[in-house]
Amino acid sequence: MFRFAPIVAFCLSGSLIVADDTESAARQERLVAMRQRAEALQLKVGEKPELRRVGKEPLFRYSDAVGTTTDGTLWLWTQAERPIAAACLFNDSREGFQWNYELVSLSDSALFVDGRPGWNWRPVANKRKWILVTEPEPARSEPTRLIQMKSLLSQFRAEEVNDAGLTQLRLLPRPVHRYRCPEETIEDGAIFLFAGGTNPEVLVQVEAMSGVDRSWRIGFARMTASDVKVARDKQTVWEAEGVREWNPRHDYFSHYGPDRGDVAPD
């Protein structure tokens, strides 16, 4: 009897290897599909040249074990290195396999976005709100500024409310993007995420300004259709009401539905 145990163990481990290989291949196929869809999106600010997508790979990849998101990616578009818009592309397990596009403006200006037949995202100009912080003064070294950023953001708490109830979001420890824009006196900037599990629900920009009075500014942007708010010292400093009706003129927009394969060629 004991002679068969190693064989059984070998068979079981072999099954696990096959399962791992199958999931790995499926995961890679989903990444290719999401990359194609990100490449198909065309974003512009007015008549200026098309915005540049940051990298060929997503800034962040995630899933939501509690919800219906089985695999997702976060992408960013910039102009002169400054973040202008972000998108989450993910598959959704509701009603079979579905693709969902979540898009949010990080700009004061109107945007023009194409890339999927049947919808156009046209957020109007809307001045963003920032929280100004004068202390501590931004450090001169990049590594020290990152430490300061994390310390500043540790003062904030974020929560999301939907049909499932209230969820305390967690601030992920590392920024998904770092940038600078001398033209806008942004000496250093970073994008952090408040997430439910690993699912991004609030994007946080923290920027070190290099003007006469060197200081920080912090801005928030939603990546969820639910009610969401951010507080510091139990005082709400930013909030967004849950989406009741989708409007392609708003700064946050989502397109959800059957995948028709209308993407850019390989």
CB 166 within 8 A of CB 160: yes
The predicted pLDDT at position 21 comes to 76
DSSP H helices, 154-227, are none
Examine residue 236 and state whether it is found in any structural domain, yes or no.
yes
The predicted pLDDT at position 2 comes to 38
Examine residue 174 and state whether it is found in any structural domain, yes or no.
yes
Q: Has residue 78 got a pLDDT over 70?
A: yes
Examine residue 262 and state whether it is found in any structural domain, yes or no.
no
Q: Are residues 13 and 45 in the same domain?
A: no
For residue range 140-196, list pLDDT tens digits in order: 999 999 999 999 999 999 999 988 789 999 999 999 999 999 989 999 999 999 999
The predicted pLDDT at position 74 comes to 97
Examine residue 263 and state whether it is found in any structural domain, yes or no.
no
Examine residue 106 and state whether it is found in any structural domain, yes or no.
yes
Q: Are residues 66 and 121 in the same domain?
A: yes
Q: Are residues 27 and 53 in the same domain?
A: no
Q: Are residues 208 and 94 in the same domain?
A: yes
CB burial of 159-187 (b: ≥16 within 10 Å; e: otherwise) equals bbeeeeeebebebbeebbbebbbeeeebb
Examine residue 125 and state whether it is found in any structural domain, yes or no.
yes
Cβ neighbourhood burial of 134 (10 Å; 0-12, 13-18, 19+):
exposed
For residue range 49-61, list pLDDT tens digits in order: 778 899 889 999 9
Closest-CA residue to 61 (of 27, 94, 95)? 27
Examine residue 266 and state whether it is found in any structural domain, yes or no.
no
The mean pLDDT value of the chain amounts to 85
What is the number of structural domains in the chain? 2
Q: Are residues 22 and 100 in the same domain?
A: no
Q: Are residues 9 and 51 in the same domain?
A: no
Examine residue 155 and state whether it is found in any structural domain, yes or no.
yes
Q: Are residues 19 and 48 in the same domain?
A: no
Instruction: Specify the pTM.
Output: 0.86
Give the C-alpha separation, 205 to 83, whole Å: 9
Could you tell me the residue range of the domain that residue 60 belongs to?
A: 36-257
Q: Are residues 10 and 137 in the same domain?
A: no
* Backbone φ and ψ of 142, nearest 5°: -65, -45
Q: Are residues 136 and 115 in the same domain?
A: yes
**SS3 at position 245:** coil
Q: Are residues 122 and 172 in the same domain?
A: yes
Q: Are residues 20 and 48 in the same domain?
A: no
Confidence of residue 229 (pLDDT cuts 50, 70, 90): very high
Q: Are residues 50 and 89 in the same domain?
A: yes
